[in-house]
């Protein structure tokens, strides 16, 4: 058998997957929580960190600032008592989207920083205006400085802020900055995703005073000074859990996901449940029974249903790619409407090459008719979530597949080859890509 290409998985599909797995810590909670360590000059410990590339990159950025980082299995300790915003590693910041989360904490603590536009997945326009407008409302000035942005402030002050969109990262940036600003801040139209809620829990453990966690109105009573240290455990990743629900639906075996909070599953099933998929809770674990017959649940009168994403508690945009793959294995026709990112559905041509019946109406909408048997092929992962969706398709397809560019998937999912192999998947990894 030929060697597996670098930065690739070789998958033999058509094998039912079954067993138990433990969800990782949330990527989208871990990254702002690491950024929040900047708000203290005392040790901060974050546990249950996912072992993924983006977390390691964020730790590297903190080290570039001068933070002392102690890594241990499943977590890290951060001492940011002697950091300097002038030492920020610009190339590292350009490599991940989450680097923008440093703007609020660094500006609130030091009153100055220079950083580039963040990197991340190419899934459409990802505007930064909401970040800038919220920080400017608290007294910051933001200006272009060559290929970077320069942030300055003589001291952030609390304000009433209506976010022009419920951006998760802009909410987190404003939340962190307001925690050590002077005076009270009220955030309207705030994001309330589980990762935002987990960040508020950590900030409260550091001594911040906050109200309204889990709602779209957050009140932050600024301390006017640095927060204390804490030890915090990152919540389970609801996006990973949703991805594995979709994987179980397509591959047919019974999957048990351990220790899943019921509150984070309902919004996911508002989307994936439209394909007739059922889940149950048993002794605190989420069970996706095997052998389910997937069938599109039509709207009343037999109309084709629309599965669309929305801010929490709507169906997550990070799971629309998975929903497309589940739709290919479901009896009936459905419309998938990705409202938030205009390039996220551009991966569907790869599913068509695998045998799926999909019509792309425009950048935001696809019509999927199923079920269609998929066949293995050679595809490349364009981003984290589309990559996981393509891996799901390969695992339920007949024959071998090569999934390339898998460093994208590994930015958001930890130890996939090992974890999937324990479920019965036939999957091997090639050597890592050259840096």
Active site residue ranges: 121
Contact by Cβ (8 Å): 21, 37: no
Give the residues across from 56 on adjacent strands.
none
Contact by Cβ (8 Å): 334, 367: yes
138: left (phi over 0), alpha (psi -120 to 50) or beta: alpha
Contact by Cβ (8 Å): 196, 221: no
Give the residues across from 185 on adjacent strands.
220
* Dihedral angle over CA of 172, 174, 175, 177, nearest 10: 120
* Dihedral angle over CA of 265, 267, 269, 275, nearest 10: -160
- Give the number of residues written for the chain: 435
d(C-alpha 133, C-alpha 161), whole Å: 9
Question: What is the β-pairing status of strands 8-12 and 400-404?
Answer: antiparallel
Closest C-alpha to 195, from 28, 384, 316, 31: 28
Closest C-alpha to 109, from 93, 85, 90: 85
Cα-trace Rg, the chain: 22
């Amino acid at each position: 058998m030929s060697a597996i290409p670098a930065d690739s998985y070789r998958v033999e599909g058509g094998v039912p997957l079954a067993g138990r797995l433990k969800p990782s810590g949330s990527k989208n909670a871990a990254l702002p929580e690491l950024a929040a360590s900047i708000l203290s000059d005392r040790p901060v410990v974050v546990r249950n960190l996912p072992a993924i590339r983006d977390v390691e990159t964020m730790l590297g950025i903190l080290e570039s600032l001068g933070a002392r980082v102690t890594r241990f299995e499943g977590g890290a300790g951060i001492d940011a008592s002697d950091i300097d915003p002038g030492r920020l590693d610009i190339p590292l910041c350009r490599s991940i989207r989450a680097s923008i989360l440093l703007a609020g904490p660094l500006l609130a603590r030091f009153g100055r920083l220079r950083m580039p536009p963040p990197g991340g997945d190419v899934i459409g326009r990802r505007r930064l205006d909401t970040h800038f407008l919220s920080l400017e409302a608290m007294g910051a000035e933001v200006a272009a400085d060559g290929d970077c942005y320069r942030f300055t402030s003589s001291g952030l002050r609390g304000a009433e802020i209506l976010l022009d969109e419920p951006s998760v990262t802009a909410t987190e940036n404003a939340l962190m900055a307001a925690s050590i600003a002077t005076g009270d801040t009220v955030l309207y139209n705030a994001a309330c995703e589980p990762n935002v809620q987990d960040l508020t829990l950590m900030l409260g453990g550091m001594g911040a005073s906050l109200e309204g966690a889990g709602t779209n109105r957050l009140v932050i009573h600024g301390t006017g000074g640095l927060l204390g240290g804490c030890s915090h455990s990152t919540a389970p990743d609801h996006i990973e859990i949703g991805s594995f629900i979709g994987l179980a639906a397509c591959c047919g075996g019974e999957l048990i996901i351990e220790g899943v909070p019921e509150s984070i599953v309902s919004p996911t099933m508002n989307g994936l449940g439209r394909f007739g998929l059922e889940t149950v809770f048993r002794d605190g674990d989420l069970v996706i029974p095997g052998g389910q017959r997937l069938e599109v649940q039509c709207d009343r009168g037999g109309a084709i249903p629309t599965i669309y994403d929305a801010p929490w508690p709507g169906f997550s945009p990070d799971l629309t790619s998975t929903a497309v793959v589940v739709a290919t294995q479901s009896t009936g026709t459905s419309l998938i409407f990705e409202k938030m990112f205009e390039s996220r559905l551009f991966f569907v041509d790869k599913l068509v090459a695998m045998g799926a019946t999909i019509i792309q109406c425009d950048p935001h909408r696809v019509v999927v008719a199923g079920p269609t048997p998929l066949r293995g092929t050679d595809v490349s992962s364009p981003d984290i979530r589309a990559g996981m969706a393509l891996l799901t398709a390969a695992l339920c397809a007949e024959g071998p597949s090569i999934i390339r560019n898998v460093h994208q998937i590994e930015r958001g999912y930890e130890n996939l080859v090992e974890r999937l192999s324990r479920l019965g998947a036939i999957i091997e990894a090639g050597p890592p890509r050259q840096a």
